[in-house]
């Protein structure tokens, strides 16, 4: 395009001289608006558009809750608003999207974004340095940086000094740190992609307090993606919903949207404020038999000062669902890994009973070869990407069975059945890493199911899931339990835990951080 001129530069009222950086540093943030005109995006390698024909105008200072079922393009839209999508890498772009009247890529320093996975955003070794990183990139003088860092850490209720190593934080603490780093830059547009999905209820409430403070101050435009609609509504004054095809489904004030479109939203798989998980039907259960025993099991990570999991006793039984709950840092994920035979306890024992070991002998589970383990205990990690090993969703599901001796053709047919059941059939050939957050979660559950294990261990299975997926997971897990399988799941999701669990093990917070026991 000759000249490289911006055909709509007249729409820009700000003075041209290095406006963004100066504004972000000197003045308190001025909220900026967002405008989409017939905007659409198709990712490379996909036939379907992620977002299509979107017309949307967000005024400066508005606070918008963006809803949509898994894979509806919410994250794509958020990434585009943040200027993080590269048009030359897209299979298709239509219409236009502007932030503060500019292409988003040109005003990135006025836009802050917080992703689902805090680890994707932490770059420095120490917490304070991480918050300072963005400010350093804005070339702020050093003595102006640290007060802001302290203020931002304070604002998110960060419980440690700034020299805390950022890898010595739980997922929830990391997310709070990321939010602090974003707030420190005082953006005019704050984009949040399920910022509390990874936090324990107390931590999530603390972050929502911070966000509602920002909301009240009116200093930033906010676009929030959040599946827990009830929690998010107090933060926003407008709801925008996309449907599964990435088109606009509803737009308006929260009350109006849920009154007029409530049924359509539920049908599209979107949570609504009063849309509760349906209880699974009561059915006859199989035999209840102890399968796994943790006997005074504890774990300390190599070099860790304090144990990640303090001595714990628990039994896992067939035909039962066991919930592991507790605040961030209490060792839920660690216990899940121990029960799945993937970690060697540093003290105590984790062993399979004869019912599960079935002739495998009595060596401790962590010694079992993978072939013996996956046909008995399946593990679904908190981060689905940690268990993807192949180049397509179908191969992913066929891999476990093939490695345990199932014939390739049979394995692939089973894979297709699982894909169908978890609404992934259209993505059988897609690379697992290119799936949306919700799709990745469903695929990771399916990979664990593919080898038909007797015990299924899941770490935060409903994290970041839409209502349809959560409902489907609930039905699926309840069904597996009723067939006689043992289900163990670590979760922050109280509703999911109460609906599915037969027993709950509540882990306590580490020492020196007393947290009141909440009753179920």
Partner 1 sequence: MTITAAHDPRTGWRVVDIVVAAAIGVAFGVVFWQWGVVWAPLFAGQVNPLAYLVSGMWLVPGVLAMLIIRRPGAAIFAETLAAIVSALLGSFWGLDVILSGAVQGAGAELVFAMFLYRSFSLPVALLAGAGAAIGEWLHDMPVYYPSTAFEVQLAYGAFMLISGVVIAGAGSWLLVRALAPTGVLAPFSAGRDQPEV
Q: Which residue has the tokens 């062993």?
A: 351
Q: What distance in Å separates the CA atoms of residue 510 and residue 490, rounded to the nearest whole number?
A: 17
430 binds partner 1 (CB under 8 A): yes
Q: Is 195 helix (H, G, I), strand (E, B) or coil?
A: coil
Q: Which stretch binds partner 1 (CB under 8 A): 87-95, 323-331, 348-356, 458-466?
A: 87-95
Q: Which residue has the tokens 């163990």?
A: 488
Dihedral Cα 466, 468, 470, 474, nearest 10 deg: 180
38 binds partner 1 (CB under 8 A): no
What's the full length of the chain, in residues?
A: 520
Residue from 25, 106, 168, 515 binding partner 1 (CB under 8 A)? 106
43 binds partner 1 (CB under 8 A): yes
Q: Cβ of residue 439: shortest distance to partner 1, in angstroms?
A: 12
Please identify, using beta-carbon distances, which residue of 4 and 302 lies nearer to partner 1: 4
Contact code string over 375-394 relative to partner 1, x by CB under 8 A: ----------------x---
434 binds partner 1 (CB under 8 A): yes
Contact code string over 147-186 relative to partner 1, x by CB under 8 A: ----------------------------------------
Please identify, using beta-carbon distances, which residue of 7 and 281 lies nearer to partner 1: 7
**Half-sphere CA count of 127, side-chain side, radius 13 A:** 27
Please identify, using beta-carbon distances, which residue of 387 and 434 lies nearer to partner 1: 434
Residue 289 is encoded by which pair of tokens? Answer: 């038999």
Q: Which residues lie below 8 Å from residue 98, measured CB to CB, with a gap of 6+?
A: 8, 34, 35, 36, 104
Please identify, using beta-carbon distances, which residue of 24 and 85 lies nearer to partner 1: 85
Contact indicator for 348, 305 with CB cutoff of 8 Å: no
Residue 390 is encoded by which pair of tokens? Answer: 């192949």
346 alpha carbon, distance to own chain's centre? 30
Please identify, using beta-carbon distances, which residue of 63 and 423 lies nearer to partner 1: 423
Residues in contact with partner 1, counted by CB under 8 A, come to a total of 29
Beta strands in 100-159 (DSSP E): 111-114
Q: What is the DSSP letter of 253?
A: -
Q: Which stretch binds partner 1 (CB under 8 A): 267-275, 431-439, 460-468, 495-503?
A: 431-439
Q: Which residues lie below 8 Å from residue 363, measured CB to CB, with a gap of 6+?
A: none
Q: Which stretch binds partner 1 (CB under 8 A): 103-111, 117-125, 260-268, 319-327?
A: 103-111
Binding site residues, partner 1, CB under 8 A: 1, 4, 6-7, 43-47, 85-91, 93, 103, 105-106, 391, 426-431, 433-434
């Amino acid at each position: 395009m000759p000249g490289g001129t911006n055909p709509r530069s007249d729409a820009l009222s700000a003075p041209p001289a290095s406006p963004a950086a100066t504004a972000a540093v000197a003045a308190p943030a001025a909220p900026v608006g967002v405008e989409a005109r017939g905007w659409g995006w198709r990712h490379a390698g996909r036939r379907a558009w992620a977002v299509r024909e979107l017309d949307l105008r967000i005024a400066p200072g508005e606070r918008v809750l963006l809803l949509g079922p898994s894979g509806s393009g919410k994250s794509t839209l958020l990434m585009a608003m943040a200027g993080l999508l590269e048009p030359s890498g897209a299979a298709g772009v239509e219409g236009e999207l502007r932030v503060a009247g500019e292409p988003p890529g040109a005003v990135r320093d006025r836009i802050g974004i917080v992703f689902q996975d805090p680890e994707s955003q932490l770059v420095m070794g120490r917490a304070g340095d991480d918050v300072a990183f963005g400010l350093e990139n804005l070339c702020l003088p050093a003595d102006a940086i640290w007060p802001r860092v302290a203020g931002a850490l304070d604002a998110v209720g960060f419980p440690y000094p700034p020299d805390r190593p950022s890898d010595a934080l739980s997922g929830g603490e990391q997310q709070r740190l990321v939010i602090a780093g974003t707030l420190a830059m005082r953006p005019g547009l704050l984009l949040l992609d399920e910022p509390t999905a990874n936090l324990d209820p107390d931590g999530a409430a603390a972050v929502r307090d911070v966000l509602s403070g920002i909301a009240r101050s009116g200093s930033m435009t906010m676009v929030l993606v959040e599946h827990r609609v009830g929690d998010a509504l107090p933060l926003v004054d407008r709801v925008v919903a996309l449907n599964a095809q990435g088109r606009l489904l509803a737009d308006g004030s929260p009350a109006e949207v849920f009154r007029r479109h409530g049924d359509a939203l539920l049908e599209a798989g979107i949570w609504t404020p009063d849309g509760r998980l349906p209880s699974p039907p009561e059915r006859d259960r199989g035999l209840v038999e102890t399968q796994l025993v943790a006997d005074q099991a504890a774990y300390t990570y190599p070099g860790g000062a304090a144990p990640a999991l303090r001595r714990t006793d628990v039994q896992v039984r067939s035909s039962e669902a066991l919930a592991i709950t507790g605040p961030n840092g209490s060792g839920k994920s660690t216990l899940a890994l121990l029960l799945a035979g993937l970690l060697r306890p540093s003290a105590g024992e984790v062993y399979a009973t004869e019912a599960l070991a079935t002739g495998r002998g009595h060596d401790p589970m962590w010694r079992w070869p993978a072939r013996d383990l996956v046909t008995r205990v399946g593990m679904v990690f908190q981060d689905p990407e940690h268990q993807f090993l192949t180049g397509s969703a179908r191969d992913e599901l066929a891999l476990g069975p093939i490695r345990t001796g199932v014939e390739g053709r049979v394995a692939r047919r089973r894979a297709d059945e699982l894909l169908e059941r978890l609404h992934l059939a259209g993505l059988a050939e897609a690379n697992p890493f290119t799936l949306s957050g919700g799709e990745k979660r469903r695929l990771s559950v399916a990979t664990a199911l593919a080898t038909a294990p007797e015990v299924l261990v899941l770490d935060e299975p409903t994290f970041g899931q839409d209502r349809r997926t959560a409902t489907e997971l609930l039905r699926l897990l309840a069904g597996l339990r009723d067939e006689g399988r043992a289900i163990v799941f670590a979760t922050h999701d109280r509703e999911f835990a109460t609906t599915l669990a037969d027993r709950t093990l509540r882990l306590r917070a580490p020492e020196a951080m007393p947290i009141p026991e909440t009753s179920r």
